[in-house]
Amino acid sequence: MSESRPAGRFGAQLEQSLDAVADCLLQARRALFITGAGISADSGLPTYRGVGGLYESETTADGLRIEEALSGEVFAVRPDITWKYLIQIEENCRGAQPNAAHRAIACLDGHLERVMVFTQNVDGLHRAAGSREIIEIHGNLQELQCVSCGHEEAASNFAGREFPPRCPACRGILRPKVVLFGEMLPEEPLARFIDALQEGFDIVFSIGTSSIFPYINQPVVFAAGSGVPTVEINPSRTPLSDIVDFYLPLGAAAAMNEILGRAGITCD
């Protein structure tokens, strides 16, 4: 990686950053990837807010902000409203396949001692790509649970179901095993993440997330303050952009392809 490289297509500063990130990745044994909706944009999924977002208006057709419609408080009294928007999200996810960014992260499992994915996404694409150590901190849209009796079942898609869906065991209301707005994060996955942070990583990536929640941005801030190389991949700037060592204003798939290519890491 030390040899001179011909002028690239990204501009000198970004070229240098891409090379530097590739060098850091080659020296790492343990990598953490914190991902948000932006990593799935190249799979055709909307980012919900921002450019190409699913919910750009201030309120939904029901007169609620989307954060209210998808809240635990509204689900408790009007599960039909919450399910209306859960269905919209699931329909936008239906048929989506992992893109080059998901596959690149999964590929690194075969090259590094440890690769952890800590994702806000409920689309299951990291899992589909084959990543081995994943914390889906907001849950997974394809797993349902009865709020009355606890019955659980898998749901590859929601097509053809009644809504709100009913439990086959007790006719209670089913809900996806996801964290709705206003609900607490699941304790066990969060504890596993904290344990992993304490064990330490050699490089930390933030990819496609607005980084507004403390549990998303603080691990990156802490790593940066501890001298661990930090990388943000996001076409739009976030609160982390001036904190990380390397800000790459690219889409996730393009950036990860460049980084692995420059590191000489090949995937099947």
From residue 207, give the alpha-carbon distance in Å to each of 11, 34, 179.
21, 6, 20
Report the 10 Å Cβ neighbour count for 59: 12
Residue 218, classed as helix, strand or coil, is helix
**Distance (Å, whole) CA 69 – CA 73:** 9
Phi and psi at residue 149, to the nearest 5°: -110, -5
Q: 1 and 23 in contact (C-beta within 8 Å)?
A: yes
The one catalytic residue in 102, 111, 126, 138 is: 138
Query: What SS3 state is found at 32?
Result: strand
Q: State yes or no: is 151 an active-site residue.
A: no
Secondary structure of residue 28 in the 3-state scheme: coil
- Helix and strand numbers, DSSP H then E, in the chain: 9, 9
Residues catalogued as catalytic = 138
